[in-house]
Amino acid sequence: MCGRFCQVSSAADIAAVFKAESSEISPRYNVAPSQAVVAIVRLPDPDDPQVKSLQWGLIPSWAKDPKIGYKLINARAETVSEKPSFRSAFRKRRCLIPVNGFYEWQQVEGSRQKQPYFIGLQDEGLFAFAGLYEQWGSPGGDVLETCTIITTTANELMAPIHERMPVILAEKEYTQWLDPSFEKIDRLQVLLDPYPASEMKLYPVSSLVNNPKNDSPDCKQPMSRSNHQFSI
């Protein structure tokens, strides 16, 4: 699964990578479900990529209770094209979630505690999760724009920590993923494979990240090997 990540790149960096302009983006070191996230979408008109703020936890357009979003922070790659909650968005409303890394927790052997890890790219660069987004209208006329992150089976780097990982797209795949007119399910499904482990790295971080109220660079600082309890 994916339950926490960080978005710390500047608006200029995001514009350079995704060709989507934004006036201001605040760095976030510990983004949690139900919070606002920066996303890249492409609408039929205009068709240039746009930066949007979306609430993390997808609420389908047909939902009667917005609380369903708490259960839909992730969508499984294996069933995303079939599940009623996601299939319409998978065909028409795909988005990119620009990130600088994400967190996952590993059970400490012989303990009830879990060791958090920070996971990112070897070059420490900006990358993107594959996501979906929806619009939901309340009975009172309010509109919520929400999103989910697609997950897939873990690669060999992630597998010792968790059986799932977020789908990370290569930059060459961004255009096709964002194109709302592209509906070839089989070709979209191919993009949802695990990202190459050789291009990623991870390291243990402190339990500071466990509390979503903590949102500082300290959340992603490496722990010394002598201070963490479990190694992969």
3-state secondary structure of 40: strand
Transcribe 121-187 into DSSP letters. ETT---EEEEEEEEEEE-TTS-EEEEEEEEEEE--TTTTTT-SEEE-EE-GGGHHHHH-TT---HHH
Q: Which residues are catalytic?
A: 2, 104
In degrees and rounded to multiples of 5, residue 119 shows phi and psi of -125, 135
Cα–Cα distance, 84 to 42 (Å, whole number): 22
Number of H helices, E strands in the chain: 4, 13
Say if CB 113 and CB 36 are below 8 A apart: no
DSSP E strands, 12-142:
28-31, 36-42, 49-56, 74-76, 94-99, 101-107, 114-121, 127-137
Say if CB 50 and CB 40 are below 8 A apart: yes
Residues paired with residue 6 on neighbouring β-strands, in sequence order: 101
